[in-house]
Amino acid sequence: MALFRTRRNTAGNESVAINVSEKGGIRYLHLGSETVQSAMRISDPAVLVLPYTHCMMGFMLFNDRPKRVTVLGLGGASLPKFMHKHIPNAVIESVELHPEVVSVAHSAFLLPVDQEKLPVHIGCGGAFIADKTNHTDVIMVDGFGSHKLADNLCSDAFYHNAKKALTENGIMMVNLWRSSPQFQMLVERIRAIFEGQILLLPDYRHGNTIVMAFNRTQHQPGIEALHELAEALSDSTGLAFNDLLIRLVDENPHSKDNLLI
């Protein structure tokens, strides 16, 4: 099955070509190219199919009960659907530039319509964040177009605004391509703005790396406590949080007891 849509959205932004395809019980979203933007198991719409989305949920090792999560870049709504199921008391808000992508997320990718717990805002993610202060516990930056991260979601000003929009102990999760020539520059930009409080969490299979940036002042949980929480989260969600924690320990400098040093 393939569905193509090309239109200019009401905000006057560039049109977006949407292709929805299916293979082996998985439905895929493509935006402007053959690159897979989202994937959904038709028999279980809330499960996370793409490995990088597992990494994006790594924030739960540090805050498994956020009150609000802000997702910049809706796509096929894989992350909002998963969180809606496994963090039912949280408000999971999404910001998407293209209204036609929102329509496809609801119709083809089964995003529930729930204005209270799953609000979707049409507009620029960078502009949405810019006027917020102490607004959200987690910001998930997943705004890839057909070829690269949107410019307004990786600027110096954007990361400063994101830090301000986070609650006191908030966490920003940024999906980057490790092979991108901008990768190291963006990592260092985030490191500087978040005063060194970052961890890298790689998806070994597809080359994505998630940058976790912490706006924390509280004492961080020790590695032993993280292992206990990872075990509990793995059991409750079916996601391999134990594996995510092992990657964090392997990929980042750390002390004997703590990941963030």
Within 8 A by CB and 6+ apart from 120, the residues are: 74, 93, 94, 95, 96, 102, 105, 111
The DSSP annotation for the chain comes to: -EEEEEE--TT-PPPEEEEEEEETTEEEEEESSSSEEEEEETT-TTS--SHHHHHHGGGGGT-SS-SEEEEE--TT-HHHHHHHHHSTTSEEEEEES-HHHHHHHHHTS-----TTTS-EEES-HHHHHHT-SS-EEEEEE--B-SSSB-GGGSSHHHHHHHHHHEEEEEEEEEEEETTSTTHHHHHHHHHHHTTT-EEEEE-TTT-EEEEEEEE--SPPPPHHHHHHHHHHHHHHHSS-HHHHHHHHHHHS---SS-S--
Is 131 catalytic? The answer is no
- Cβ(39)–Cβ(123) below 8 Å: no
Catalytic one among 142, 151, 156, 250?
Answer: 142
Average pLDDT of adjacent 10-residue blocks, the chain of 261 residues: 45 72 95 86 96 96 96 96 97 95 96 95 95 97 66 91 96 92 94 95 89 83 92 97 96 87 71
pTM above 0.75?
A: yes
- Cβ(257)–Cβ(224) below 8 Å: yes
Tokens of 130: 């810019």
Using only C-alpha atoms, the chain has a radius of gyration, in whole angstroms, of 17
Residue-level pLDDT at 218: 65
Residue-level pLDDT at 4: 45
CATH no. of 45-251: 3.40.50.150
